[in-house]
Chains A and B, each alone.
Chain A
């Protein structure tokens, strides 16, 4: 009984802990009720509650690191968890639409604009350059890349960056339509695009991930852990003789790592680290980054249209973010709303897959420039 009373008194003495427990409940609500990235938000939500209980044994017990701390040290400090997650993501991606229309690769590059916009704004707001870059990488719309870069740069905003990255990814269907409508006209959104894909051989699909590793490694060697694991997953998928490994990577591996990642990232969700004005700024800047990604992609497509006879629906540019396949579905839905006979899903999917490659390259280039 005394222990219970002591615990309650310790909680009341530090209301920040109660606030964080409420935040944990909100994360679980978003995951369970709204189904926003539940694989990460549910474990992260419960983890947030567990780490904010006074004297929590998940962080330290008997002077030794607790299980969450051990998992964090083993999986996030070493950057293994985000990289292992990339094997599964790579195994899920079909580069076919991109290989049959490689021009779409450029939209993946354009839609990373939000990253760099946020790095500049965060610098102007007084964040040091490592934190500014870590905040900017939220706009990669790619959770594992955000964790990898923020951890490599030693950012103190890791918890906020993770929450922002995964929350905004889940909110792509809300964020992107607003951003796209702000910079396009109805007429532009109704542009139809002919789809004449080139057939792609299996040999090309197998060689593609290998060559990407070599190219990315030569231009941005720091991107190789990210690109290498992503492309290894894709090679499992495409090689045709490792189907069981590919399925394991897509299912068991991704599920296991998501459970561990969500739980141990909550080590960074202790109230004294998280409940700061800076955290709100990080969350706000992350949102700005997502908006500017879409704006950058759309404006790039509009600039290309000045020189092209066959016009591009500028919304395809916004699909160049890494949130796959959600973004391409959002773009198709918007196109159908404007013109029920307009089908641009395959072009949007190609740009979306390009965004996946571009986001890991962006992460590697930023690390290369700052480390």
Chain B
């Protein structure tokens, strides 16, 4: 059980942390897309 718990804690750290990392990268991508491709005037 201790071994499983160790892996579960590792999944918490790397898994949840990984999601934040991916979402943060997507956040930066979204900002870049807005900057690079602004909506055209009149739309």
Contact = CB atoms under 8 A, between A and B. Distances in A.
Nearest to B15: A365
B41 to A, nearest CB: 10
Contact of B22 (A120, A199, A203, A361): A361
A105 B26 contact: yes
A198 B34 contact: yes
A128 B38 CA distance: 50
A97 to B, nearest CB: 12
A362 to B, nearest CB: 5
A113 interface: yes
A201 B38 contact: yes
A285 interface: no
Interface string A77-115: 000000000000000000000110011011011101101
A126 interface: yes
Interface in B1-43: 1, 4-5, 7-12, 14-16, 18-27, 29-31, 33-34, 36-40, 43
A212 interface: yes
B37 A201 contact: yes
A123 interface: yes
Contacts of A115: 15-16
A3 interface: no
A365 B13 CA distance: 11
Nearest to B6: A123
Given A109-B20, A116-B15, A207-B37, A123 B26 contact: no
Contacts of B36: 204
Nearest to B40: A201
A193 interface: no
B33 A204 contact: yes
A211 B30 CA distance: 9
Contact of B16 (A112, A208, A215): A112
A216 B34 CA distance: 20
B34 A369 contact: no
B22 to A, nearest CB: 5
A201 B41 CA distance: 10
B7 to A, nearest CB: 5
A167 to B, nearest CB: 24
A365 B21 CA distance: 11
Nearest to A227: B22
B11 A204 contact: no
Interface of B: 1, 4-5, 7-12, 14-16, 18-27, 29-31, 33-34, 36-40, 43
The 7 closest A-B CB pairs, nearest first, are: A102-B30, A123-B8, A204-B33, A203-B37, A116-B12, A123-B4, A199-B39
